[in-house]
Structure 1
Amino acid sequence: MTWLGVIADDVTGACDLAGVVTAAGLPATVLLGPPQPGDEPAPGAECAVVALASRTAPADDAVAWSVAAGQWLLDHGAQRLYQKYCSTFDSTKDGTIGPVADALADLTGTGSSVGTPATPAVGRTVYQGHLFVDGRLLSESPLRDHPLTPMTDPDLARVLGAQTPRPVAVVPWPTFGGRADAPASVRRQVAAAAGGHVLLDAITDADLDLHATTLFEGDELLGGASGLAAGLARRYATLAGRAPGSGPSPLPDVDSGGGRVVLAGSCSRRTREQIAAFGGPVVRIGVDDLAADPARTVSAAIAAALTALRSADGSPVLVTTSLDPQELRRVQERHGRDRSARLAEDALADVARAVVEAGVRRLIVAGGETSGAVTRALGVRQVVIGDQVAPGVPWTVSAGPMRLALLLKSGNFGPADLFTTAWEVAP
């Protein structure tokens, strides 16, 4: 039975959520891309996630894809719908979170949504409707320099209110934190905002567990990052009589004889730290070179990667287009933001296809847009979720005749040594 049906706005966010709910005791699967005729959730999945590339898409496209995914999930038995967006509320200037929330809330028949991006396990907290990243306001964090979705306003109600005509309310922490009547207080405030969108403060996992208990029996659209979903999974596991945190079932083994590859397209500070900490062979692809001669540049990168694989004696090989913020801005000024991103994503997707054709079956991919481009290039339609390397960073194995072990991670997630140590628990 599929209890929770999730519509995620990117691939790595989908895997993040699926990883934490699986670890909490709710087996999960991720369908990559809009559902197609004949698609079915993997057997045994109690949480089914559809991963879309809708975060930076035109709002009309994001709404159409999300509604189709939501209807598919309902048709396959989902009892609750959950809109997954980034824990840093990543959104373009025009924004897709609000329009998608409006449409999915209508699909539930309630016209209402309630949720929070708070995920304390990775340093995302919400207080008085303001989002903090590692204790700093969102606008003062590295997310202000995100190449596609720079986040310069920490006031979530203001950001969401600019994207929807419906009222946006905040349930502030002082109205429930530490209070004996906390569940009743939250319920009253959610009920008072019926017909609109409600954003919940949360600064600890205990707050998320409170919200999960309060919202578990409702019928409005749920939403947020992986933190609230993990709380819901813990609640579900408890009611089902299984031990929360029991973790995923073992994934099938994947052939490790063809080598290991890391593809890093994210320009986030954490991914750049992971690149700097990597001690193996590195192939760098320049966006300026791609703009001048994409075919020649990609061919050279593929040749360099394959040469490195042959001489690396089993060590992983890193292929990257990542840039520091200053150089990224210069590249975007020369070639345009969207074209620069597309050139980099397409190049890494081409490299992924070539190394898999050469026998590689285990890959780490850093960056949401990069992960979407790579999985599309490899024809991966669905993955099942395994062990987490770090909060929100699980290994997965692709469904289908050719098994691939894929770690698809948000650019901001994972320890600095991830590209070296993640292989220790790879399928």
Structure 2
Amino acid sequence: MLIGVIADDFTGASDIANTLAKGVPPEGGLRTAQFAGIPNVPADPTLEAGVISLKSRSAAVQDAIKESLQALAWLRQQGCEQIIFKYCSTFDSTPEGNIGPVADALADALNANGVLVCPAFPTTGRTVYQGHLFVFDKLLSESGMQHHPLTPMTDPDLRRWLGHQTTSRVGHLALKSVLAGVHETKNILSAEMMNGNRFIVADAVTDDDLLVLGETVADQPFITGGSGIALGLPRNFIRAGKAEGDGVQFAACSGPEAILAGSCSGATLGQVALHAKKHPTLAIDVPGVMSDTVTAANLLAFIKAKRGLAPLVYSSGTPEEVKDLQSKYGREAVSAKLDALFATTAQQLVENGFRRIVVAGGETSGAVAKAITDQLDVSAMTLGPEIDPGVPMLTIGTDEPVALALKSGNFGAEDFFAKALQIMEGSS
């Protein structure tokens, strides 16, 4: 294995696995697998990249550090030459969050300095300019991410935000240097390291900028960022003759379908509204979930009754609705209950022969993917075609494979749900 990724949630892991598997023309990508948690057996020796999906984004700092270091140990045992710490392309965290501490711990373990920090993903509107993170034409703090129920992001200045979380010094690689090319970016990185800056926030507003950064860090042992930072990395290994460039393997899945949505993002709310115009939907009564009067059996019964009609069950709500529920029951309690509900529902769907499952929301995706991989006793998920930017199809198992799409709340076109189900069965 050449590249190892430690991702702090499951949708982000799918996103960067997709980037590594696709690569860029003409070289192509790497043979990539996504793992649901840290495997307890060695990886397939033919793999060139492995992405470990953790649920550490909202975890306590020490828990996130411990799990990330365990993931690092396994990846190093597989021979990885380069490690990426992948976090959200909207850097959602809190001043007490774990992105900085985890990055510090991994950098210590790898004896790394001058570590790139770049959550840019221009294809989905995430760009970094003058060290500030934008979502399309809005600063991150005005994009809706300030209302995220678990990790609200209220400051777009990545240098300042990272400074809340680490005692390490944070520098900046400006866009004008990136536009000047690889030679200049390498010089700036070296200068920032000489000035004692361990982490370097890099500007990037286009994919070409990410390709420059990818070539710049070809020999770096440790990189941090969103999935975009991996865009240029496969070709470094392919050009060096270490990889072949045939990343995406596709196996269509047929069978019954279901959609589970646990995201409160504006994009997911729009996707749910559009889907509801032509397909059966069920809004989950969260107070009923908290009192155990709404269970996985209720969701399963609805989905089975609407089989063949692309049924959707969802717990999405407006920021105001979410805030009221969290105030009444507690943020962690609501999240834990809903994760458990979706996880159990997913396992019951698989038991009842459902083979195409679309999931929206990072926490929900993590709960569902871990539940199904544990159920099938398979840790590796195979990458399939991209459904929308940043969201690939995944398959679990070989005899009767289950197709999954794990969608970050903010990702996907309005018709994502129907499109995902079509691509899973080999049509578009």
TM-score, length basis structure 1: 0.92
Superposed, which structure 2 residues align to 1:274-313 within 5 Å?
Answer: 274-278=271-275, 279-292=278-291, 294-309=292-307
Superposed, which structure 2 residues align to 1:222-237 within 5 Å?
Answer: 222-237=223-238
- Output the CA distance in 2 between the equivalents of 1:205 and 1:337: 37
Give the CA deviation at 1:179.
Answer: 6.0
Q: Which amino acid aligns with 1:106?
A: D
Q: Aligned pair 1:396/2:398, yes or no?
A: no
* Conserved? CA contact 1:290–1:298, under 8 Å: no
Q: Aligned pair 1:7/2:6, yes or no?
A: yes
Give 5+ residue unaligned stretches, structure 1. Answer: none
Deviations 1:108-127 (A, max 9, x none): 12355223001111111111
Q: Aligned pair 1:201/2:203, yes or no?
A: yes
- Output the CA distance in 2 between the equivalents of 1:394 and 1:184: 32
- Output the CA distance in 1 between the equivalents of 2:353 and 2:403: 12
Q: Which amino acid aligns with 1:267?
A: C
Calculate the aligned-residue CA RMSD, in Å. 2.0
Percent of paired sites with the same residue: 39
TM-score, length basis structure 2: 0.91
Q: Look up the match of 2:33.
A: 29
1:191 to 176, 190, 193: 193
- Residue 165 of structure 1 aligns to a residue whose secondary structure is coil
Q: Aligned pair 1:356/2:356, yes or no?
A: no
Deviations 1:59-96 (A, max 9, x none): 00100000010011011110011100110001134111
- Output the CA distance in 1 between the equivalents of 2:389 and 2:104: 30
* Conserved? CA contact 2:36–2:52, under 8 Å: yes
Give the CA deviation at 1:206.
Answer: 1.1
1:105 to 102, 107, 113: 107
Give the CA deviation at 1:402.
Answer: 4.9
Q: 1:28 to 1:179 in 2, by over 3 A?
A: closer
Q: Aligned pair 1:130/2:132, yes or no?
A: yes
- Output the CA distance in 1 between the equivalents of 2:18 and 2:37: 18
* Conserved? CA contact 1:56–1:92, under 8 Å: no
Q: Look up the match of 1:333.
A: 327
Superposed, which structure 2 residues align to 1:266-277 within 5 Å?
Answer: 266-277=263-274
Q: 1:270 to 1:193 in 2, by over 3 A?
A: farther
- Output the CA distance in 2 between the equivalents of 1:40 and 1:180: 36
- Output the CA distance in 2 between the equivalents of 1:410 and 1:9: 12
Superposed, which structure 2 residues align to 1:16-415 within 5 Å?
Answer: 16-24=15-23, 25-36=29-40, 39-178=41-180, 181-193=183-195, 196-219=198-221, 221-240=222-241, 248-251=248-251, 253-254=252-253, 256-257=254-255, 259-278=256-275, 279-292=278-291, 294-309=292-307, 314-378=308-372, 379=374, 381-399=379-397, 402-415=400-413
* Conserved? CA contact 1:172–1:200, under 8 Å: yes
- Output the CA distance in 2 between the equivalents of 1:3 and 1:22: 13
Deviations 1:25-69 (A, max 9, x none): 112111111332xx2223422111111110000000100000010
Q: 1:250 to 1:302 in 2, by over 3 A?
A: closer
Aligned residues: 414
Deviations 1:8-33 (A, max 9, x none): 10011001000111011112111111
